[in-house]
Structure 1
Amino acid sequence: MVKKTVPAAALAVAAALLLSACSSGEKDDAAAKPSNDSGSIVTDLSGRDGDDAGTVLDRPYTKPDLVLTDTKGKKFDLRERTGGKPTLIFFGYTNCPDVCPLTMSNIAIAEKTLPKADQDKLQVVFVTTDPERDTPAELGKWLPSAGDASFIGLSGDFPTIQAGARQMGIGIDAPKKQKDDTVVSMHGAQVVAFSPKTDKGYVLYGEDTSSDQFAKDLPKLIRGENP
């Protein structure tokens, strides 16, 4: 089945509006039905029928110019460290009760179906949207249990992270405390795959992408091919 190719500019507008509400409570109506400024409902890009999970972009994203801190407390230049490598980037946070750990788990399960050589090539980057609580040490404890110890966890100041996400069409808001003391973080739940050939983000996956769907696409993503 041929995957749909979508103009990146149009997709970026929709993706930036598709924010998942992650908290210890239930999602509110605004998060369940995101809308644009005109009040119309934005089509959810996260679910695809059958095996056709990814959306190939006709105008790929440039990899964000992000310099953050990794789980060992060292500076991590995203472009430099992942240059020429197949890379999956996801923005989320460790206290997320559903979308974030499920996404990391699905990618980890899919990665384990690859030959060891391909596993070593694949870079999976988790950038926190809640850097105040997600310190490098906290990310280092969470990632092995939520995904895999090989995954790269990055933290830093929120404005820098938010600006980097926007370069990929991903919208994130600063976490907010509710009256019941739960913290809600609104963030786009898309995974963007970057090609090792061009270092461009050329395939986008939504939050409903299964481990089987990731496993089906990963071999081609590692080669920089359209899935």
Structure 2
Amino acid sequence: MTMTRTLRRSRPGVAAALALAASLALTACGSSEPASSGNGAVVTQDEDRSLYKGTEVDTAFAKPDLRFTDTEGKPFDLRKQTAGRTVLLFFGYTNCPDVCPTTLSDLALALREQPKDVRDKTDVVFVSTDPDRDTPQVLKKWLASFNKDFIGLRGDLQQVKQAALSLGIEVEEPEVHHDGSVHSSHGAQVPAFLPTDDKAHVLYTSNTPMKSFAHDLPLLAKGKQSTTAK
């Protein structure tokens, strides 16, 4: 299955477009080379005046109907329990040595810079792509090292893969190497769902600077959609 979305960059330029296209590939955590992606994301070179540092998509992604279990072992309905809130959704795993901790650290730092009203309206939701090893206790402790309010979810891996693919994000089966290390190739995009319509109009790639998250969080909390909105 190939997922296609047209992406509008907030900063035009061929170099930026090529970098974006590369970053949309699957990220093999701990690997020096990204795996190939079948997402089919299309980058356009228009000079829109986006409010966002992140990447706007022409057709917004619906929030997935994701019903998993949180780190307390309680059922968690993503649509129901985050309705009307800003949600930044990330798929990854606790043994990831690079992209996952870097992204969560940047999100935690960006949130720390926000006023209380923005923080109170924002959820960072992390869905494990390695639920067999990411036990509730392991996941809770790991997320708390970034921010105790980050939400960790676990579920059947096939359902995780389906939920991710509905957002154009590919997740592959974890591989356990002979040395005991675990590698899980997964898309590193972070879709941001607005509180106004519970859809993702903006996404962030693995090379997004912390300052870009910090810049965009207040806009996301206000539910800004239009590239020309004031």
Q: Same fold (TM over 0.5)?
A: yes
Residue 104 (structure 2) aligns with: 104
Structure 1 SS opposite 2:28: strand
Residue 170 (structure 1) aligns with: 169
Residue 78 (structure 2) aligns with: 78
Structure 1 SS opposite 2:183: strand
Shift of 1:180: 3.6
2:27 paired residue among 20, 23, 38: 20
Gaps of 5+ in 2: 1-8, 13-20, 44-50
Shift of 1:181: 3.3
Q: Distance in 2 between matches of 1:15 and 1:69?
A: 32
After superposing on structure 2, the runs of 4+ consecutive aligned residues of structure 1 that deviate more than 6 Å are: 14-17
Output the TM-score relative to the length of structure 2: 0.81
- 1:90-139 deviations in whole A, cap 9, x for unaligned? 00110000100110000000001111121111011000110001112211
Gaps of 5+ in 1: 6-13, 45-50
Structure 2 SS opposite 1:65: coil
Shift of 1:177: 1.8
Structure 1 SS opposite 2:180: coil
Q: Distance in 2 between matches of 1:100 and 1:21?
A: 11
Structure 2 SS opposite 1:174: coil
Output the TM-score relative to the length of structure 1: 0.82
The residue type paired with residue 26 of structure 2 is: L
Q: Distance in 2 between matches of 1:4 and 1:60?
A: 19
Change (3 A) 1:77 1:178: same
Within the alignment, does 1:181 sit opposite 2:188 as a pair?
A: no
Residue 135 (structure 2) aligns with: 135
- RMSD of Structure 2 on Structure 1 (CA): 2.8
Q: Percent identity?
A: 48
Q: Distance in 1 between matches of 2:38 and 2:86?
A: 33
The residue type paired with residue 21 of structure 1 is: A
Q: Distance in 2 between matches of 1:133 and 1:193?
A: 27
Within the alignment, does 1:194 sit opposite 2:201 as a pair?
A: no
Residue 222 (structure 2) aligns with: 223
Q: Distance in 1 between matches of 2:148 and 2:213?
A: 18
Q: Distance in 1 between matches of 2:200 and 2:85?
A: 12
Residue 60 (structure 2) aligns with: 60
Q: Structure 2 matches for 1:114-129, cutoff 5 A? A: 114-129=114-129
The question of whether the paired residues in 1 share the 8 Å contact of 2:24 and 2:205 is answered with no
Residue 144 (structure 1) aligns with: 144
Structure 2 SS opposite 1:162: helix
The question of whether the paired residues in 2 share the 8 Å contact of 1:193 and 1:201 is answered with yes
Change (3 A) 1:52 1:81: closer
Q: Distance in 1 between matches of 2:95 and 2:161?
A: 18
Paired residue total:
204
The question of whether the paired residues in 1 share the 8 Å contact of 2:118 and 2:217 is answered with no
The residue type paired with residue 219 of structure 1 is: P
The question of whether the paired residues in 1 share the 8 Å contact of 2:86 and 2:221 is answered with yes
Change (3 A) 1:198 1:35: closer
Residue 47 (structure 1) aligns with: none
Shift of 1:35: 5.9
The question of whether the paired residues in 2 share the 8 Å contact of 1:73 and 1:136 is answered with yes
Change (3 A) 1:43 1:207: farther
